[in-house]
Structure 1
Amino acid sequence: MYVDLILTASIKAGEGIVSIYESAHSIDYKADNSPITEADKVGHRIINRYLNQTVYPILSEEGKNVHLSERIKWDNYWLVDPLDGTKEFINKNGEFTVNIALISAGTPVIGVVYVPVKKWLYVGIEGEGAWKLELEDHQLPPDWKSAGIKLPVDQCNNDCYTVVGSRSHTTEETNKFISNLEKKHGELSFLSMGSSLKICLVAEGKADIYPRLAPTMEWDTAAGDAIARSAGCKVVQYETGEPLQYNKKNLLNPWFVVKR
């Protein structure tokens, strides 16, 4: 299933991104006014070099748009965000990630999230489980499962329900959701985090819930979604309670909630 290949791809992309992160770099803007840096493009190129060795097609935030008439033929494909958390990258807080997921029949079955500044590597494989590794010098251990810690590792304190939220995005609806959690659970503990790390913190057991009542795209969530599901969490649509679906006609996600 190419797991070692995509682990290596994420780490190598992270190395390339960090080399730009630590130097001066320019910032451009896409048509929707969202920022893009040279690091996004470098990460995209490195990942593609690896994924092009596989039999599966690639859908990437930084790649060309693939029409639905082509995508609908894909039973399995890679869904990639080479640099999730560009705002965190620009703000230099280290909370950005490299995300690679394998989607099968609309479901994320393998997910890799690499945090190159912190050298944290999260892995989720359907039917096998999820792990977190803390790497040295961006090196993947030969027996990475034994070197990693099985998720979840830290169960939240039952006396303090923990909510994780975005550093860069908040909405009135999210505030109302949290207010309702306070009525149910009493005093809450809050964690702020960027990028797909928020999903990983729930998978890890450091947070109980992550409500995302704001726009995201499929490539923003797929890798973290696979990790969370593999760690025994639920990643569900806010309105219906059904799991998130991938390779939809519109690649915009509905609002969703990640919970233990």
Structure 2
Amino acid sequence: MIMDTIETLLTTAVNAAIGAGGEIMNVYDDPAQDFGIELKADNSPLTKADRRADAAIAAALLPTGISILSEESAHAPYGERRHWERMWIVDPLDGTKEFIKKNGDFTVNIALAEGGTPVAGVIYVPATRELYWGLRGRGAGKASKVGSDRRFADIGELAAASAPLPVAGQQRPFTVVASRSHLSDETRAFIDALRTFHPAMAMMSRGSSLKMCMVAEGLADVYPRFAPTMEWDTAAGHAIATAAGCEVVRADDGTPLAYNKPDLHNPWFIVRRKDGHATTPYAHEL
């Protein structure tokens, strides 16, 4: 595939994410609107905002002719998916629990994957109007004050409106970012072990895919996740983080996370900067 095609697809994904963010905020900000909360089979919540965002994204991405794997839509069986060389991986509202709590830590995630690897991704933060994007071979960026009415004509306009990631010139201690809602005992043990290497280590806590954005932006050095996640939780952040010079790897053997697997669950993983203050070991190295 030529680069111009991937750039065009990223622009489409960016505009789709912004449009979905507008749908989410219409629900979030309406004092007369109940969230229409339902529980899915796994007991995770589903709201009107999830459904509206999913519909908006599908309408924007279907004209590309690329198959879509979305958290909130029916999933094609692996016998069909295994033939998808390219695919969209979508979480219309990542951090639904944070959305319900109204703390702002929720995102729209859209990734383009090729051969099981995310090559382009966008994460839009509707509550703060921040937009993170990454493209293999082009780098990563962050645009601010991106309202729900904004649309980008092409990758050049997007890049011109963005600061490159990671942000340069930051002075801070070695920093770990962890889940606000899913901090497992195994994750705590890994963080405690890191203090041996970094006694002055700092901690951040964020929800949704923002943790991956913090590493990509250079605000954190490592994000360990030793708790359940699905491919749509990580694909967009994976594309952004790797485009920003990070790696997203399995915690057990350090190999990159793979996508479009028969089982859509992710293994435990670590997102870490490759230009960090000092070595961040894998789980099996501690």
Give the TM-score, by structure 2 length.
0.88
What does residue 205 of structure 1 align with?
A: 218
Letter in 1 for 2:127: V
What does residue 227 of structure 1 align with?
A: 240
Q: CA deviation at 1:136?
A: 4.2
Letter in 2 for 1:20: V
RMSD: 1.1
* Superimposed CA distance per residue, residues 188-237 of structure 1 (whole angstroms, 9 cap, x where no aligned partner): 11111000000000000000100001010000000000000000001000
What does residue 10 of structure 2 align with?
A: 3
Q: CA deviation at 1:155?
A: 5.5
Q: Is the 8 A contact 1:156 1:207 kept in 2?
A: no
Between stretches 1-10 and 135-144, larger displacement belongs to: 135-144
What does residue 147 of structure 1 align with?
A: 161
**Pair 1:238 & 2:251 matched:** yes
* SS of match in other structure, 1:244: coil
Check 1:157–1:47 CA distance in 2 against 1; reply closer, same or farther (3 A cut).
same
Q: Distance in 2 between matches of 1:103 and 1:97?
A: 19
What does residue 131 of structure 2 align with?
A: 121
What does residue 192 of structure 1 align with?
A: 205
What does residue 190 of structure 2 align with?
A: 177
Letter in 2 for 1:108: P
* Superimposed CA distance per residue, residues 121-168 of structure 1 (whole angstroms, 9 cap, x where no aligned partner): 00100011000000343324551211100100155536x110101111
Q: CA deviation at 1:93?
A: 0.4
Q: Distance in 1 between matches of 2:128 and 2:120?
A: 22
Q: Is the 8 A contact 2:113 2:120 kept in 1?
A: yes
Q: Is the 8 A contact 1:156 1:162 kept in 2?
A: no
48, 59, 67: which one aligns with 1:57: 67
Check 1:136–1:224 CA distance in 2 against 1; reply closer, same or farther (3 A cut).
closer
* SS of match in other structure, 2:178: strand
Q: Distance in 2 between matches of 1:79 and 1:141?
A: 21
* Aligned residue-pair number: 259
What does residue 22 of structure 1 align with?
A: 29
Off by >4 Å, runs of 4+ in structure 1: none
39, 45, 56: which one aligns with 1:35: 45
What does residue 3 of structure 2 align with?
A: none
Q: Distance in 1 between matches of 2:212 and 2:176?
A: 11
Which structure 2 residue ranges, 5 or more long, are not aligned?
1-5, 274-286
Q: CA deviation at 1:65?
A: 1.9
Q: Is the 8 A contact 2:131 2:146 kept in 1?
A: no
Which structure 1 residue ranges, 5 or more long, are not aligned?
none
Between stretches 17-26 and 4-13, larger displacement belongs to: 17-26
The 5 Å alignment of 1:42-81 reads 42-81=52-91
Q: Distance in 1 between matches of 2:137 and 2:85?
A: 19
Q: Is the 8 A contact 2:166 2:216 kept in 1?
A: yes
What does residue 157 of structure 1 align with?
A: 171
